Chains A and B, each alone.
Chain A
Amino acid sequence: MRRRPQLLQLTICACAAVWLLPFLWMVCASFKAPSEFFSSTFLPWGDLGRLTLDNYRALLGGFPFLTWLLNSLFLASLQTVIVVLLSSLGGFALATYRFRGRATVVALMLLTLLVPGQVLLPSTYELVNSFGWINSYAAILVPGAISVFGILLFRAAMSAVPVELLHAARIDGAGELRLWWDIALPSVRPTVGAFTLICFTGTWNSFLWPQIVLQDESKYHLPIGMTSLVGLPEHDVPYGLLMAGTLLSILPVVALFALLHRDFHTGVMTGAVKG
């Protein structure tokens, strides 16, 4: 007997609604003047005219928000492209070729996954300082180009590429690099999609390391910029402004997810199976 699960549907939808309440509150708060916070929880239903765009105006006019947004876009997209290309290249190498030392390299990589990155912070800072990269994006992009997780992910995905295809391409005269670009990459497109989302989100939301190396306000990206507003007294930074900024900061990631969600879910599926 297959009944429509009414109660379950209702409960789960209610849960989802509660889960999303903070976002609703955030959107409402971004249109409120400071005094409004005390008078209405979500929106002043009786008098919607009290809502204002002032927070957005102040955010875009009084703070270098657009600069931060631009910096975030640059960092996240460039970092993602670099990491995806490097990781897929490395993963391809580990998956396709049997060579001496392969097992060692893989074992080493698996071990590094267990080491928390924070132990490297003081010495990486020293290193980056000695290169003169403090306060430049090189300090973020170059160390950030390493993703052991990425390589292992692509290795797992690309090991499913049929060897015959590769052989056939070689016979057709394709060089090894072509094999990666023309054969392996297209066949793992869902993995590329999923990993792109992970990388982009990771860089977009990164905090600790950029906080340490970026000194110039004009170089901040969104997380650092927005959190630098915290701590200024209430009359200098109204709460609504913080919410407006947060809302604008999360939209690009949501947009990217809309583009990539199918790939992402496929990636999770295969990951769950392999896990």
Chain B
Amino acid sequence: MMTASRRLAPWLFLTPFLLLFAVFWLWPLVRSLVLSLHHTAGPHHQTYVGLGNYAFLLQDPLFWQAVWNTTRYTVLFVICELVIALLLALALNHPHLRWRGALRFAFFSPHLVGGVFVALLFSLLLAQRFGLVNVMLDQISGMLHSVLPFIPATGAEINWSGRPELARLAVLMAGLWLSIGYAMLFLLAALQHVDRDLYEAAQLDGAGRWQRFRQVTLPALMPTLGFLALMGMIGAFQLFELPYVLFQNGSGPERAGLTIVMYLYQQGFQTGDLGYAAAIGWAFTVMVLLLSLLQLRLWRRE
């Protein structure tokens, strides 16, 4: 029997959330669309420009560079993340592996640290003169070079934040170090749920290790991989903190570190044009939505 309190209960419970949601999510979303049709300079000066911001956006080389940088990063990031995380998960899934808990924690720890602190750490790791990365590369390549002369010695002072290709690589490395452990956890959990019987059945059918992987493991992991790919893509597309902190609040050499969100931040909160920033935000949203739909459809077909 439905009492009045029982009928009201769900709405009462949801009210605080719905209220906050309306004020701090729905309203700003709509307002953002309106803002994007204006041109702001300082807190009091707003002029209506219709689709002017969007017209400019379409021809704005900085915006498209940001899109290119972000897309390139996202593709590389998702592929590397999933491949490496899968390898690690498969390794950790081995039934007789010791110290699994500790190893799991080791790979996951950067994710706990968070983007900002990882970027701070990396900015020093990649320091030209004394950074750990350069020192190790120098020693390792030096050793290899003396044994196999065709491997070049890298020299001691690679300028990570000075050359655009290296800068992009630096951001990718930091991003992967940060997130692989997280993806690995999910894959490991999914692996441990795979039905043992399926493996035994495949083995009885004469399937080798690679075929067992393709026929049993991979299909079982598909949902998780799809989920991680989608979340990874959306997350990578929103890249901001890593390049921002790595390049000391700038966009890096030849703007190699300029991402869409960073461009939004620069235009909105450094140049002060909130209207243009809102337009960037909406273009960004449309892109993410399209990419997500595309990815969902692709995955469903697999």
Contacts and interface: CB of A to CB of B under 8 A. Distances in A.
Contacts of A124: 24, 28
B16 A86 contact: yes
Contacts of B121: 22, 26, 243, 246
Contacts of A253: 112-114
A227 B245 contact: yes
A119 B117 contact: no
Given A16-B107, A208-B240, A226 B29 contact: no
Nearest to A264: B185
B85 interface: no
A223 interface: yes
Interface string A197-230: 0000100110110001000000000010011001
B234 A122 contact: no
A226 B135 contact: no
Interface string A236-253: 000100110010011001
Given A99-B10, A142-B20, A212-B269, A272 B32 contact: no
A121 interface: yes
Nearest to A175: B5
Interface stretch (A49-57, A59-67, A143-151, A185-193): A143-151
Contacts of A127: 23-24, 27-28, 31
Contact of A121 (B94, B96, B268): B268
Interface string B69-98: 000000000000000000010011011111
Interface residues of B, number: 92
A122 B94 contact: no
Contacts of A96: 10
Contact of B29 (A115, A129, A201, A275): A115
Contacts of B23: 127
B36 to A, nearest CB: 8
Q: Which of B7, B11, B120 has the most CB of A within 10 A?
A: B120
B3 to A, nearest CB: 9
A246 B120 contact: yes
A273 B192 CA distance: 10
A137 interface: no
B132 A207 contact: no
Nearest first, the 10 A-B pairs at minimum CB distance are A205-B114, A119-B281, A272-B189, A93-B13, A176-B9, A123-B31, A123-B28, A97-B10, A93-B10, A223-B116
29 contacts: A5-B94, A5-B97, A8-B91, A12-B103, A19-B107, A93-B9, A102-B10, A114-B234, A118-B240, A119-B29, A123-B274, A125-B274, A127-B23, A146-B21, A176-B6, A177-B9, A180-B13, A205-B114, A205-B115, A207-B240, A223-B114, A223-B116, A226-B117, A227-B245, A243-B121, A254-B109, A268-B186, A269-B192, A272-B190
Given A114-B288, A119-B29, 11 more contacts: A12-B91, A37-B129, A90-B14, A92-B13, A121-B277, A124-B24, A127-B31, A143-B20, A143-B24, A146-B25, A243-B124
